[in-house]
Amino acid sequence: MISPARQAAYEVLLRVFEHDAYADRAFRSAAEVLDERERAFAQRLAYGSVQRVRTLDHAIEALGRRPVRKLDPPVRAALRLGAYQLGYADTAPHAAVNESVELVRRARLERAVPFTNAVMRRLSDGIQPLLESLPDGPLKESYPDWIYETFVRVLDADGALALMQAMNEPLETVVRLVRGEPPAGAEQTDIPGAYRVERVDEALVAEGSIWPQSRGSQLAGLCLGSSDGERVLDLCAAPGGKTGQLRGEVTAVEIDSARARELRQNLATMGRSDVTVVEADGTALPPELEGFDRVLVDAPCSGLGVLAQRPDLRWRAKPLPELQLALLRSAAGRVREGGTIVYSVCTLNPDECEAVVDASGLSVLPLGAEWPQFAHPSRPEFLLTLPHVHGTSGFFIARLVRSPG
């Protein structure tokens, strides 16, 4: 007998690593029939296994003595799930072993059952000592080497390790107060309008009272400083959390039609029927979109600051500096002379952060004095929120101005 939660987690592993599915979407469909308790357990197993897959594969290969890439996909998924339970989830060993074997049997791979059973028993005896023996670094924390090396460039080796460890654990849960009173028991934070909560009350979200949004994300929206009477452009707007923060006559641009629909729905939920949504490419805007007082460029990026929330992102992340610079230059062409641009990305990669700003030719309006707790460690004119320091998602934020000439 396989528990519904483990079955759901197994399906997520198969879909993410064998069919290139996104973990959150795969989990949504796999966990549809689960009750709240089972759903929470399934999510922990699924997301944890996806997140830790590099370390899990190392353990499976070291103790199972066979390359993971050569295993049948159901065997690979079952072993990864079982190894995660034995290494990180305090699951009773017999439950992890038996249910991994049953998953392979249910996949009609009877010939692979003895192998799965043998490897799971070796993992049961040996995975904890193996994990403890690993040196600190990207293998032990389960990150690609290039991400670790990027973090070292920003923070040094000790900071990179602390950051990786922080993003292997859940960060704080924060909501933005849209209207009305804060949720019962909510704790005010150092960001105006941002409240720390035990869990997100979906009923309050549905009625438009609150919006789930990290402190780092809310800080980016606040730094634009838009006010009533100003013309404001949000260049990469979906899903709309930051858009909903902006005051003035707001135009929100989104290139993808499905995401534009989601953006409209989210803005309607927040009571922002005054926002104009335009489906367009932010690098090739319609000519009528010009002369704005302020522009927010919350650009697509590698997402290295939100790896705690997106367990599969570390395995698919790619830097996007060329696109980011194109969007920033597009924004510069649509803001009035002397107008303000805020460039933000949810990554800590210097190639997508300060290097893009430096290449843009725009003048910097320093932010560090306004928000000293978030000042960039080496470039204090910018802001950099750090998960291991601030407990929130990682964001780089720059405020820029289009100067005369």
Catalytic residues: 346
Neighbours of 106 (CB within 10 A): 14
Distance set, CA 78 to CA 97, 100, 173, 294, 341 (Å):
10, 5, 31, 51, 49
Phi, psi of 137 (to 5 degrees): 155, -170
With beta carbons less than 8 A apart as the criterion, state whether 105 and 113 touch.
yes
Which residues lie closer than 8 Å to 291 by C-beta, 6 or more apart? 231, 334, 335, 336
Rounded to whole angstroms, the Cα distance separating 204 from 195 reads 13
Report whether 367 contacts 318 (CB < 8 A): no
CA 213 vs. chain centroid, Å, equals 11
The identity of residue 143, as a single letter, is Y
Q: Taking Cα atoms as reference points, which of 204, 246, 262 lies closest to residue 344?
A: 246
User: In angstroms, rounded to a whole number, what is the distance separating the alpha carbons of residues 350 and 332?
Assistant: 21
Provide the token pair at 294: 């302020």
Answer yes or no: are the C-beta atoms of 284 and 333 closer than 8 Å.
Answer: no
Number of CB atoms found within 10 A of residue 68's CB: 18
CB contact at 8 A, 400 and 361: no
* Among 21, 27, 20, residue whose Cα is nearest residue 43: 27
Look up residue 8 and give its two tokens.
Answer: 């759901």
Q: 31, 90 in Cβ contact below 8 A? A: no
* E strand intervals along 166-273: 174-177, 187-188, 194-196, 210-212, 231-234, 249-254
